[in-house]
């Protein structure tokens, strides 16, 4: 019996996966409240195991979500804004959010993604897009207050467009038949990435641990960069002026040791053994900046999968 338990324990540990509760059995047919099944312990576990070098993002997200899901009557929708250099994990983290907040994960009908290139490609149609976007948000919120809206590449969104959703982000709007304050909005962009990189570089040069970087070290610089960017979807936006964003989630640039983790994890997913030679070659082949010191990866973990194929 004891041996069996030890074996079970070893199996659980040995798989290297996060321990997740079995899916909650839901009997409210097709209800959206039913589709919203936050498991924040699993989220935290997944973030700490599979997202490398992002202590701020992990802390901020878990903290904000704990507060938000603890009540049935939030005072306003949860509005998150992800910032950071490319390849630092923003898209991956957004997919983990969806996975651990919704029963059906990325297939959930209550999760809506918008990409400027896909949904709003032509600047001359911006008035039409405004109409569409407003209708979509309103329609989806009426169908389900526990909806999540993800806006990718905000730095490529036509300025002015996003303001049509500003009323949905505040605390005093009325959406007929729906408590829209239960919704979650996530904005993702690379802007502020350079400012974050500079802070991280200064910490590195000062021989300080990256885990010592605090939110207050990066947020003012991120806000400044976003406000100054005339191409950004938030240019002169009410969303910024009315402080509708609840949490700025910064993603730090990645060190070579984080890239090594990415390579190993990618190899594991491909079903291959992590041969140290290969891990080393791939990690070493990336471009690092500043050029002479080679501190951070210029593309984060983005090109890792491609490079593995190249070295194989
Ligand atoms: C919900 O949003 C999607 C876009 O993601 C849109 O196609 C759909 O029509 C919306 N649903 C409603 C009921 O408005």
- Name which residue sits closest to atom 9 of ligand 1, judged by CA: 136
How many angstroms separate the alpha carbon of residue 147 from the centre of ligand 1? Answer: 11
Question: How many domains in the chain?
Answer: 3
Is 111 found in the same domain as 6?
no
pLDDT at 23: 47
Is 112 found in the same domain as 9?
no
12 pLDDT exceeds 70?
Answer: no
For the stretch 28-58, pLDDT in tens is 545 787 789 999 999 999 999 999 999 999 9
Nearest-angstrom CA–CA distance, 206 and 83? 23
3 pLDDT exceeds 70?
Answer: no
237 pLDDT exceeds 50?
Answer: yes
Q: Among the three residues 251, 269, 289, which one is the final residue of a domain in this structure? A: 251
Q: Would the CB of 139 count as within 6 Å of ligand 1?
A: yes
Q: CB-based contacts of 145: which residues, under 8 Å, 6+ apart?
A: 32, 175, 178, 179, 180, 181, 182, 183
Is 165 found in the same domain as 22?
no
- Domain that residue 16 falls in: 1-32
Is 117 found in the same domain as 242?
yes
Is 244 found in the same domain as 162?
yes
pLDDT at 9: 47
pLDDT at 177: 66
Share of the chain above pLDDT 90, in %: 73
Confidence band of 175 (pLDDT split at 50, 70, 90): low
Is 149 found in the same domain as 122?
yes
What H or E segment, with its residue span, contains residue 83? strand 78-84
Give pTM, 2 decimals.
0.89
Is 301 found in the same domain as 222?
no
Confidence band of 10 (pLDDT split at 50, 70, 90): very low
Is 219 found in the same domain as 161?
yes
Instruction: Please state whether beta strands 296-297 and 288-289 pair in parallel, antiparallel, or not at all (unpaired).
Output: antiparallel
Q: Among the three residues 251, 268, 288, which one is the final residue of a domain in this structure? A: 251
Over its C-alpha atoms, the chain yields an Rg (Å, rounded) of: 21
**145: exposed, middle or buried (Cβ count in 10 Å: 0-12, 13-18, 19+):** buried
Is 196 found in the same domain as 55?
yes
Is 49 found in the same domain as 179?
yes
In this structure, what CATH number is given to the domain that contains residue 246?
Answer: 3.40.50.300
pLDDT at 92: 95
Is 271 found in the same domain as 128?
no
How many angstroms separate the alpha carbon of residue 140 from the centre of ligand 1? Answer: 6
Nearest-angstrom CA–CA distance, 169 and 259? 36
For the stretch 100-143, pLDDT in tens is 999 999 999 999 999 999 999 999 999 999 999 999 999 999 88
- Rounded average pLDDT over 13-39: 61
Q: CB-based contacts of 21: which residues, under 8 Å, 6+ apart?
A: 39, 42
Q: Would the CB of 113 count as within 6 Å of ligand 1?
A: no
Is 14 found in the same domain as 82?
no
Q: Among the three residues 251, 283, 299, which one is the final residue of a domain in this structure? A: 251
């Amino acid at each position: 019996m004891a041996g069996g338990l030890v074996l079970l324990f070893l199996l659980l540990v040995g798989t290297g996966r996060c321990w997740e509760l079995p899916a909650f059995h839901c009997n409210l047919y097709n209800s959206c409240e039913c589709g919203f099944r936050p498991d924040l312990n699993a989220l935290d576990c997944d973030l700490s195991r599979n997202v490398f070098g992002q202590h701020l993002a992990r802390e901020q997200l878990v903290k904000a979500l704990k507060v938000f899901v603890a009540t049935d009557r939030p005072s306003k929708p949860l509005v998150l804004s992800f910032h950071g250099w490319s390849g630092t994990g923003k898209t991956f983290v957004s997919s983990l959010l969806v996975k651990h907040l919704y029963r059906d994960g990325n297939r959930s009908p209550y999760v809506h993604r918008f990409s400027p290139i896909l949904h709003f490609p032509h600047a001359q149609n911006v008035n039409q897009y405004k109409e569409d976007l407003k209708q979509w948000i309103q329609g989806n919120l009426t169908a389900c207050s526990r909806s999540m809206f993800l806006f990718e590449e905000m730095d490529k969104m036509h300025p002015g467009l996003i303001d049509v959703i500003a009323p949905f982000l505040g605390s005093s709007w009325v959406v007929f038949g729906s408590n829209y304050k239960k919704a979650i909005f996530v904005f993702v962009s690379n802007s502020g990435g350079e400012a974050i990189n500079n802070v991280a570089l200064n910490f590195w040069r000062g021989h300080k641990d990256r885990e010592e970087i605090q939110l207050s070290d990066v947020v003012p610089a991120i806000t400044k960069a976003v406000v100054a960017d005339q191409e950004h979807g938030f240019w002169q936006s009410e969303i910024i002026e009315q402080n509708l964003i609840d949490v700025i989630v910064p993603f730090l640039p990645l060190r070579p040791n984080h890239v090594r983790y990415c390579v190993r994890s990618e190899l594991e997913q491909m079903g291959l053994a992590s041969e140290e030679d290969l891990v080393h070659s791939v990690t070493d082949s990336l471009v690092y900046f500043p050029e002479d010191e080679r501190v951070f990866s210029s593309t984060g973990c983005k090109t890792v999968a491609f490079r593995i194929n190249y070295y194989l």
